[in-house]
Structure 1
Amino acid sequence: MADAGPIVFAAAGVATLAAALLPRLLNKAPVSMPMVFLAAGALTFAVIDPLPDPDPVRHSSVVLHLTELCVIISLMGAGLALNRPVGWRRWSTTWRLLGITMPLTMVAVAVLGWSVLGFGVAGAVLLAAALAPTDPVLATEVQVAEPADNTDDPEDSDDEARFALTSEAGLNDGLAFPFTYLAIALATTPGDWLPHWLAVDVVWRLAAGLLVGMGTGWLLRKLFFAAPSEKFRLAKHAEGFVALAAVFLAYGVAELANGYGFVAVFVCACTIRAGERSHGYHRVLHQYVEQVERLLTVVVIFLLGGAVATGLFAGIGWREILVALSILLVVRPLAGLIGLAKGRTGPRERVVVSFFGVRGVGSVFYVAYALESAHFLEEGSMWRIVGLVVVGSIVIHGITATPVMRFLDRKRETVASP
């Protein structure tokens, strides 16, 4: 067997160049970058023999840490991109998606897993936890693009659909964690899980993630914009890679405190964004994070395509296909419409936000995390159904995102014009 090293390096070079060029080439096409790399991964692993096996079951630890890194980088980018200050009324659409749409989605997915797929209670809860949150990694086409500089009204700088999808993806990735722990508890200690789950996995971990995110964000914000010496005032030097320091610091401290690092990273990003809101350094930080996120996304989706080509869907049946389509085309849209009813979104925005419940890297992470922490009888089926939903989301939402968002932008411009 030939050495795969040179092939891997050559492929990495091509993929990196493609990651830089494709967003511009596909700007107006009904094709997303994840679709291209999913297909490229499947074709590469199907044609070239000596490549390493990308099976997520055998390499669950690698999958866990790679997707973990991808998600936390993306959460920082999502938080930095939001121009709208946090508030109960300003974020009312987000609170509806988190408080109504997400629970409804989880209940529906758990019922489908239990009744249609034959999962046990623990497996059904894990399926719901993995597939309920929307994804900040693969949803770039329908999210806020970048921080706005010198905006007089931050609330008006983000259209409601993009803002809702970005803020929802930033928070619900962390909010799915308590239910992942619930699935783990049901699989390991089914008789005595409730007190520990409520006190630790819900109250303590959420509070710790929130407080660590606010604290690290406040400290870094002071360092960036208000340090007593200009040598330490990093905003003056426009060092974009410092965004990685914010990601790793918030995530690491939160995890050391047994808090939710996902929550901490997003809250840290929003806290940094709240300081000197019109300063151009926010854009510098966001652009660097976006570039790193794009490279990691290429790796993850390329390997997902390889897993599909090498047997991830082996043994899949009509039940899994039916459940996957139901989650993407029925469950999320209906739950979204219910959650957003009589809210501040218009009818078109409501439909768009409800439809684009993108599933992706976060779902893969939660499955890998739970399967590393406990034994689930449905392990093979879990990977198949989650993989199918993620691939379906990449294809369905990738095809529709560009034309739908362009249509929404035209309608909004028409209403705004005199």
Structure 2
Amino acid sequence: MAWDHLSINRPHLAYIILGGFTSLFMLVSLFVKEKLYIGEATVATICGVIFGPYAANLFDPNSWGNVDQITLECSRIVLVVQCFAVGVELPKAYMTRHWKSVVYLLIPVMTFGWLVVSVFIWWLIKPLSWLDSLCIAACVTATDPVLASSVVGKGKFAKRIPKHLRDLLSAESGCNDGMAFPFIYLAIYLIHYRPNAGEVFYHWFVFTVLYECVFGAVFGCCVGYAGRRLIKWAEAKNIIDRESFLVFYFTLALFCAGAGSILGKS
């Protein structure tokens, strides 16, 4: 009869696995990253494969609802928080002083990488057309700020990289997630509207470049500037406590994620 009191379901197993894995990994994180040369993203992926539906099947995210929507929103939160962290960690006025280096990495280097990767995908996966390969390549062209943290963050690997290169990689990894949208939508519009070049250019330039990228950047700058002024004002008036001060940027990142999604600026 004692077993009747147990409440075992899939979400509870997910909590156990998530909490247990995170706790155990924290205990050996330095050894794994600096002795085994394995990043936390790789270890987390292996853990998910082991306990997920294709191995132990202890929990199945596919049964939780719309898998695409869940994946999209989880990825959105992780990326927006990490990108916000990059902005906070960069030196003051970094983008105004080093914008040429960042632009060089974002436009010519990123475009070249996109084209090269698309050719490899087209060559390896025969059923795909080159336009399909361009669309897939755009998804993997951007440098993920989470994965880049192993190089630009703390640890012995980061110490061997000059400070100016770490800052440049951080800035580039934070910016290029948004810069990947022109590549993705250019391929999508070419697939959807070809051979009408006018429709392709109109939708790509107006909706993607001007609205999502340019307006999105301006919106982000306005929110960041307003947040900085407000936090300084609150600190000067001594009306904000230490805990709220530390978590303010995280909540502001969530606000940006929600506002950007509502406005159609991913």
When normalised by structure 1's length, the TM-score is: 0.52
Q: 1:136 to 1:87 in 2, by over 3 A?
A: closer
Question: Is 2:190 the partner of 1:183?
Answer: no
- The amino acid of 1:139's aligned partner reads A
How far, CA to CA, are the matches of 1:235 and 1:214 in structure 2? 25
Q: Kindly state the Cα deviation for residue 214 of structure 1 after the two structures are TM-superposed.
A: 1.2
CA distance in 1 between partners of 2:94 and 2:43 (Å): 35
Matched position secondary structure for 1:134:
coil
Which structure: greater helix fraction?
2
Report how far residue 79 of structure 1 moved: 1.2
Which range moves more in the overlay, 101-110 or 7-16? 7-16
Contact 1:208 1:257 in 2 (8 A): no
Unpaired stretches in structure 2, ≥5 consecutive residues: 1-7, 156-161
User: Is residue 209 of structure 1 aligned with residue 216 of structure 2?
Assistant: yes
Give me the whole-angstrom Cα distance separating, in 1, the residues matched to 2:14 and 2:262. Answer: 35
Structure number with greater CO (CA < 8 Å, separation at least 6) is 1
Aligned mate of 1:16, from 12, 22, 30: 22
Between the two proteins, the alignment pairs up a number of residues equal to 246
Give the Cα–Cα distance (whole angstroms) in 2 for the partners of residues 219 and 62 of structure 1.
Answer: 30
Return the offset for 1:140: 1.4
Which residue does 2:177 correspond to in 1? Answer: 173
In the TM superposition, what is the alpha-carbon distance from 1:197 to its structure 2 partner? 1.2
Note the C-alpha offset of 1:193: 2.1
Structure-to-structure mapping, 1:83-102, within 5 angstroms:
83=91, 85-87=93-95, 90-102=98-110
Contact 2:119 2:130 in 1 (8 A): no
Deviations 1:146-186 (A, max 9, x none): 9xxxxxxxxxxx71231122111000110001222223323
Q: Which aligned pairs between 1:12-411 and structure 2 lie closer than 5 A?
A: 12-26=18-32, 28-29=34-35, 30-45=37-52, 47-52=55-60, 59-83=67-91, 85-87=93-95, 90-118=98-126, 119-145=128-154, 159-190=163-194, 191=196, 192-227=199-234, 230-232=237-239, 234=240, 239-259=245-265, 261=266
Q: Output one character per residue of 1:235-262: Cα deviation in whole Å (capped at 9) or x when no partner.
A: 7665322222211222333344444x4x
Q: Is the 8 A contact 1:126 1:183 kept in 2?
A: yes
Instruction: Choose 160-169 or 212-221, whichever is displaced more.
Output: 160-169
Q: Distance in 2 between matches of 1:13 and 1:132?
A: 32
Q: How far has the Cα of 1:101 moved from its partner?
A: 1.2
CA–CA separation in structure 2 for the residues paired with 1:237 and 1:5: 30
Q: How many Å apart are 1:208 and its aligned residue? A: 1.0
> 2: CA distance between counterparts of 1:50 and 1:144?
33
Determine if contact 1:178/1:202 at 8 Å carries over to the other structure: yes
TM-score by length of 2: 0.79
Secondary structure of 2:145's aligned partner: coil
Cα separation, partners in 2 of 1:252 and 1:43, compared to 1, 3 Å: closer
CA distance in structure 2 between the aligned counterparts of 1:86 and 1:171, rounded to whole angstroms: 13
Closer, same or farther: CA 89–77 of 1 in aligned 2, 3 Å: closer
Which one of 7, 13, 18 corresponds to residue 7 of structure 1? 13
1:83 shift after superposition: 1.7
Matched residue of 1:216: which SS?
helix
Shift of 1:69: 1.4
Q: Specify whether residues 182 and 100 from structure 1 end up closer, same or farther in structure 2 by C-alpha distance, changes over 3 A only.
A: closer
CA distance in 1, matches of 2:187, 2:89: 33
Paired with 2:74 and 2:264, the residues of 1 have a C-alpha distance of 21
| Contact kept in structure 2, 1:121 and 1:186, CA below 8 Å | no
| Contact in 1 for aligned 2:122/2:133 (Cα 8 Å) | yes
* 8 Å contact kept, 1:129–1:180: yes
* Residues 98 and 168 in structure 1, CA contact (< 8 A), matched pair in contact too: yes
**C-alpha distance in 1 between matches for 2:234 and 2:17:** 43
Shift of 1:9: 2.6
Kept after mapping to 1: 8 A contact 2:83/2:174: yes
